[in-house]
Amino acid sequence: MPTRFSGAISSFYYPLYRRIWATSVVFALGNWGERLAVGWVVLNETDSIFLTAATFAVRQAPQLFAAPIGGALSDRFSRGKILMLTGVYKTLVLSFMALIAANGLEPLWLMFVLLALSGIGHSFEIPCVQGMVTGSVPRDVRMNAVAVQSTGMRAVGALGALMAGLAIDELGVPFTLISSGLVFLIAGFLALIVNRELQVDVTQRTKSIVRDVLDGLQLMTQLPLVRMILITAVLVEVFGFAYGALMPAVAKEALGVDVKGLGTLTMMAGVGSVVGSVFLMALGNFSKKGLLLIGIGVSYGVFVSTFSASGSYAVALILILGVGASAAAFDAMQWTLLQLNVPDEMRGRAVGAWVFAIGFGWVGHLGLGAIAEAVGVQWALGIAGCSVIVTALAAMMFSEKLRKA
């Protein structure tokens, strides 16, 4: 292997991986722009923390039924074609969102319907992208491949958050949503091009897509390590990743900044996520992956609890680096453990099962939104962070296979 691609970026040695990596970060750019724009416009127009959190919940809830289907289809058909169709679909959905935003969120219920439709598209995107990433490198390089891909997604996400904040302030939410839709369209066609070198193993197909979906769901009960990873994913998603739903309220209510301040705060979380992903890249094929996942979970809970507690914007900008780093590393380690502990022909369904699991995150979005509205944003974040810490420690205590993974 050439030395310029050794160590932390060894997966970049593979040309196909480099092209898939570039495609995945374009998808990430579209997702970050959409989330920031929708969260800000709903908070600004309704002045409701709960409704703002609900936008994240509604986008995530459809994953409970769509993700297993998306995972099964990604193992059965061309992932490039699925992603191309997803890109076109998301462009249309975001275009309609832009129209609703331009009309002052009238009618509001239609924006929530469109967010649910957007979530369905996301359920097809993740299994396809992750299947392409790990399918483009040898098995012993997959942890590095996932970490490098996560780094790219987070780095572009940090830049995208800053750009989206500036675009919203200068050009408005509708323009930002339409731009994000066009980004999805570009990403879809890039996926179609790069996927030509990846072939679906048709010998592993069953006669029924329904059977494929059920096989993916059975992963959650048949393999103890996979089961524990997915249980942990549910709880951390509910209590930890729901912090994102409160970000517009944190910026406006707790820290007293405008949409540009929100964009900068989100950008710093993105910068932190790059740091977390680079940390995993530097570890290479680390042997104690389960214990590493647990340690990352504990640090995640600590940072979620504390990043905005002082009420100082400057302090929050520093501490949210830890939130972003922990979130990125936690996701990447889950993907790595799943991809290394299921048969190759079920990689898409494994990620689909994970997306299904985190689909329960809508409970956290609504719950934290309600708590924040009742007792304040910081109390909600403190409860969320402590719950993540307890979840990580419980996983270590009750799962020997995770400790040894």
- Going from N- to C-terminal start, the domains of the chain cover 12-199+206-404
Which of 100, 50, 27 lies closest to 248 in space, CA to CA? 50
CB atoms within 10 A of CB 110: 15
160-176 pLDDT, tens per residue? 767 777 788 788 889 98
* CB 66 within 8 Å of CB 86: no
CATH topology of domain 12-199+206-404: Growth Hormone; Chain: A; (1.20.1250)
* CB 79 within 8 Å of CB 166: no
End-to-end CA distance of the chain: 27
363-402 pLDDT, tens per residue? 887 888 888 888 888 899 999 999 999 999 998 888 888 8
Q: To the nearest 5 percent, what fractions of the chain are helix, strand and coil?
A: 85, 0, 15
HEC states along 29-57? HHHHHHHHHHHHHHHHHHCCHHHHHHHHH
Spatial distance between the Cα atoms of 35 and 161, rounded to a whole number of angstroms: 9
Q: DSSP for 336-387, please give it.
A: HHHHHSS-GGGHHHHHHHHHHHHTTHHHHHHHHHHHHHHH-HHHHHHHHHHH
- Chain CA centroid to CA 333, Å: 13
Spatial distance between the Cα atoms of 116 and 110, rounded to a whole number of angstroms: 10
Identify the pLDDT of residue 49. 79
C-alpha triplet 121, 127, 132: angle, nearest 5°: 120
C-alpha triplet 321, 277, 69: angle, nearest 5°: 110
* CB 55 within 8 Å of CB 112: yes
Identify the pLDDT of residue 284. 64
User: Which of the residues in the chain have pLDDT under 50?
Assistant: 1-5, 201-203
